[in-house]
Amino acid sequence: MAEQRFQPGDKIGRYTLERRLGAGGMGEVWKGQKADGRAVAIKFAHRQLENQAYFQDFVRQEASTNLVHPNIVAVEEIFDVGGLPAIVFYFVEGNNLESEIYSDPNSLEKGRPLDLARIRGICRDILSALDFAHQRGLVHRDVKSNNILLERETGKALLSDFGLVMDVTVRKMTRYGMMGGSVPYMSPEQIRDNRSVDLRSDIYSFGVVLYEMLTGVLPFRVEPGETEDPDYLIKHKHKFSVATPPSNLNPMVPVALDRIVAKALEKTKDLRYGSCQEFAAALNSFSTEPPPKRVVMPDFPDSQDLFSPSDPTTAAAPLFRLGRRTFTTAEVTLWLPWILMGASALIIGIALYVFFR
């Protein structure tokens, strides 16, 4: 793990660092404060990446994709720190979606499903942000719950981290042809060949996020007893396996949402939603009210089984009482045909009497 380069209270350029928010393979992110008191988030690169050209691409892509949208975390500026670039973002006071779902952010095995109304709001915000980027020819390529921030006061969801963005108008990306993205959220085409990626890859990835919000688990994950390499196994499932319907894991999920998720997670991109607007329209069609409780009807035997004299228990069971006489199932079975024939003859006789009178 890279050594922490900074300490709370350090002054970096125009910013004073307050606390480290997190760290990953590419660098660390700090909460900072400008001279006017406004909070910002600053992403610093790890020193060992200094001479790696692909990281320079990463930073340039992140900084140049300054999309101004209410549901996109805005890049404010980029500046140099000891020969490495640092990126300043608008600071979102709140959690990311991953920590909202999983109690232990280091374990993506089992989380808790979110409320349907909350899910609808997050979907509305993020699909709006993605649609804004897609209309400008940009594919995010790393849509995941960790890159969705939730503003604490407003509940608004914001999309962050455009470091792997691809401009489909010129097929320009971070290191052309290099696989980008996070394995649990990758579309099949992202795994096979990054050059075939388009906006529908983001729709697939957000379908994975939607599945997470509905069930508290990823649709494709390593199950107990599976011993293959985790990355290989999950990639294989993305390409060939069908996800369990969310309603099988969470009975509060309407079946209509199963179909929406399944369409977003289609293996063939031509079968998915063609745009985020289409995806959002489908989500707007379902009710946030929980489905009615499923009434489990008793498993009645059919008439042949009910009146079968071959079952001594059933045959001897009392069926009804008339005066002092109790009739068993076997007796009713024996006399029922004659009773029906007699009733039919009586009805026919009455009809003939009325007709010829």
Catalytic center residues = 142
Q: Are strands 138-139 and 75-81 parallel, antiparallel or unpaired?
A: unpaired
What is the spatial distance between Cα 160 and Cα 24, in angstroms, rounded to a whole number? 15
For residue 138, give both structure tokens: 């940009």
| Main-chain phi, psi angles of 328, to 5 degrees | -90, 170
The whole-angstrom separation of Cα 250 and Cα 190 is 29
Determine phi and psi for 23, rounding to 5 degrees.
Answer: -150, 150
- The CA distance from 61 to 170, in Å, is 14
Q: Assess contact for 75 and 181: CB atoms under 8 A.
A: no
Query: Which whole-number Å values give the CA distances from 296 to 241, 258, 290, 332, in the listed order?
Result: 31, 21, 17, 29
d(CA 159, CA 67) in angstroms, rounded, equals 11
